Amino acid sequence: MASPFLRNLRLRHMYHSLNSRLHASGFHSLSDKSLQNSPLNLFSLDGFSENQYKFRAFWMNHRFLCTGSTNPSVNKASSSNVGATPSGGLAEGNHGNKNNGEQDAGGSQSTSQQGKPVRRGPVSWMSFFLLLCTGAGLVYYYDKEKRRHIEGITNASNAVRQGPSVGKAAIGGPFNLIDHNAKSVSDKDFLGKWNLIYFGFTHCPDICPDELQKMASAIDKIKEKSGIEVVPVFISVDPERDTVEQVREYVKEFHPKLIGLTGTPDEIKNAARAYRVYYMKTEEEGSDYLVDHSIVMYLMDPDMQFVKFFGKNLDDTSLAEGVIQEIKQHKKVKA
């Protein structure tokens, strides 16, 4: 058995070893002076076994650790160490988070440098292209429908609608006049042929020449397109100046088949009344005057019955097409 001195020395060695470990982990321990004044020295070491000495050393350290030291400097140091530990831990945590953030940024940067997108956006090139195509298609469809609607309105407004017949217009009738060859003619001389009749006068400055030129061109186009022969007829509303010779020279300027008719004032008046034609002298100064009259062409069928009239707003092509259409429609109804 070891002597009491060796046991005491071993116990002190164990105490100092335990005290150094506690001090390294941030806790205060007993000083040598405190150990001398501790209850360990109040008892003799001879009557205790080695296990009893170990137990007493552990109990003394546990007591002083729980109650704290009586030295103010020790308590202040302990308090400062305890308060500093979380800050240090927080700083270390922040430093660790910073390092982790740098690592994440570095990883993202390296990923971007390798050409692999970390996260795709909500709009891709394909979706943008499909959206563009859809928009262009909608614009094209809207424009097409708009043009089709406008064309439908235009065609409906320009179309000639054939309504139910209520009766024949009271246009046309018998007349007796003289042609440009000084031959007496009547309405019966024009039976069996399609006739296009225009009322005017040879001293007309602009409207009558334009209308007769349009009539002559339309007659040729009707013959060319449909093979139908239409007789152009000019009836003067100025019997005082439009003599047979005057009318003859006048009609030669427009078409070789154009027939010019004139007569006495009463004969002209009767013919104009039959065709509902208005005419009146204006701006009379001696022998120079103008005649205001209706600007209308009358299409008469082979029975010298009125079919349709055409106004000044048509050109030669439209006039020719209108005459052809009316002739075909008339033949279809007669059949």
Helix/strand/coil percentages in the chain, nearest 5: 55, 15, 30
- Annotated ligand binding at 66? The verdict is no
CA 310 vs. chain centroid, Å, equals 43
- Annotated ligand binding at 293? The verdict is yes
Is the Cβ–Cβ distance between 232 and 259 less than 8 Å?
Answer: yes
Is the Cβ–Cβ distance between 212 and 198 less than 8 Å?
Answer: yes
Classified as helix, coil or strand, 3 is: coil
Q: For 282-321, b where at least 16 C-beta lie within 10 A, e where not — what string?
A: eeeeeeeebbebbbbbbbbbeebebbbebeeeeebeebbb
What is the rounded CA–CA span in Å between residue 96 and residue 146? 68
| C-alpha distances out from residue 20 to 27, 74, 160, 165, 309, Å | 10, 15, 120, 131, 132
What is the rounded CA–CA span in Å between residue 293 and residue 224? 31
Rg of the chain on CA atoms, in Å: 64
- Annotated ligand binding at 255? The verdict is no
Classified as helix, coil or strand, 100 is: helix
Identity of the residue numbered 6? L
Residues of each annotated binding site for Cu cation: 204, 208, 293
* Annotated binding-site members: 204, 208, 293
